[in-house]
């Protein structure tokens, strides 16, 4: 049996579905990944300690904020791709729960209105104050400069989780619950190198979920998979869901 047929069989046989995504699902929309063989991969060109850590922001807030402004400006012209659409079908028709490491908001743009997307690493579409946690939505067309919080003396920063920071406890708890009770986990476009996010796949596997990995290249999570589908998420996911 071909891998895609085996994966389709798992999809039709198992009820409680969790889809766990990473940057690769947005790559086909033109959003760069962080790792992997692409020459656009962000951590191949930029230093994550400088641009994605509280220490980096403290050392040079403008450098860090301007880098996020550049990433936000890239998102202004980006739209969800057939991979995001296939996942939205699973949300709508199979009640799938989406857990994402992505901060780009592309799942949310096509998700059914009653479906939750658990964002482990926050959102690039909001800023938050370093001191009082006041939050502001950022429009992608008129991007604000680095500025102080209107409520206190803190600095506004992107509302994403940086290296060395904790994930939101309630979100991680909800994700953990979903993985513990999942029958099937579909892992899409992630290198599996960042924890605790990657630990959710281990959690689902330990709870006896079947695991399908969809990724362009081999990943750290392949060993946990019952089926590995190598290819682009925008092609493999519609074929899996049979759109």
Q: Kindly list the catalytic residues.
A: 121
Q: Determine contact, residues 195/165, Cβ cutoff 8 Å.
A: no
When binding is defined by CB under 6 A, the residue of 161, 178, 186, 224 that contacts ligand OAD is 161
* 241 in contact with ligand OAD (CB under 6 A): no
* 23 in contact with ligand OAD (CB under 6 A): yes
**Site map for ligand OAD, 26-65, x if CB under 6 A?**
-xx----xxxx-----------x-----------------
Q: Nearer Cβ to ligand OAD, position 13 or 133?
A: 133
Ranges assigned E (strand) in 56-189? 97-100, 117-119, 122-129, 135-137, 156-160, 184-188
Q: Determine contact, residues 94/115, Cβ cutoff 8 Å.
A: no
Burial status of residue 34 (CB atoms within 10 A of its CB: 0-12, 13-18, 19 or more): buried
**Phi and psi at residue 27, to the nearest 5°:** -60, -35
The minimum distance between CB 59 and ligand OAD, in angstroms, equals 18
Q: Which residue has the tokens 């579909």?
A: 186
Ranges within 75-94 binding ligand OAD (CB under 6 A):
none
The minimum distance between CB 89 and ligand OAD, in angstroms, equals 17
Q: Nearer Cβ to ligand OAD, position 183 or 238?
A: 238
């Amino acid at each position: 049996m071909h891998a895609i047929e085996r994966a389709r069989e798992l999809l039709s046989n198992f009820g409680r579905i969790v889809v766990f995504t990473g940057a690769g699902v947005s790559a086909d929309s033109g959003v760069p990944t962080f790792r992997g063989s692409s020459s656009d991969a962000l951590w191949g060109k930029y230093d994550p300690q400088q641009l994605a850590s509280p220490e980096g922001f403290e050392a040079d807030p403008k450098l860090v904020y301007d880098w996020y402004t550049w990433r936000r400006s890239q998102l202004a012209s980006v739209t969800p791709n057939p991979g995001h659409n296939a996942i939205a079908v699973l949300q709508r028709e199979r009640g799938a729960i989406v857990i994402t490491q992505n901060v780009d908001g592309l799942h949310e743009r096509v998700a059914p209105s009653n479906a939750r997307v658990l964002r482990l690493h926050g959102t690039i579409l909001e800023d938050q104050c370093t001191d009082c946690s006041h939050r502001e939505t950022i429009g992608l067309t008129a991007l604000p400069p680095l500025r102080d919080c209107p409520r206190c003396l803190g600095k506004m920063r992107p509302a994403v989780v940086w290296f060395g920071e904790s994930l939101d406890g309630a979100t991680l708890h909800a994700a953990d619950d979903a993985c513990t009770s999942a029958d099937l986990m579909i892992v899409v476009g992630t290198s599996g190198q960042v924890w605790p996010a990657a630990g959710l796949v281990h959690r689902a596997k330990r709870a006896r979920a079947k695991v399908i990995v969809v990724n362009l290249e081999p990943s750290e999570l392949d060993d946990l998979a019952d089926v590995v589908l190598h290819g682009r998420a925008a092609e493999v996911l519609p074929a899996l869901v049979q759109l």
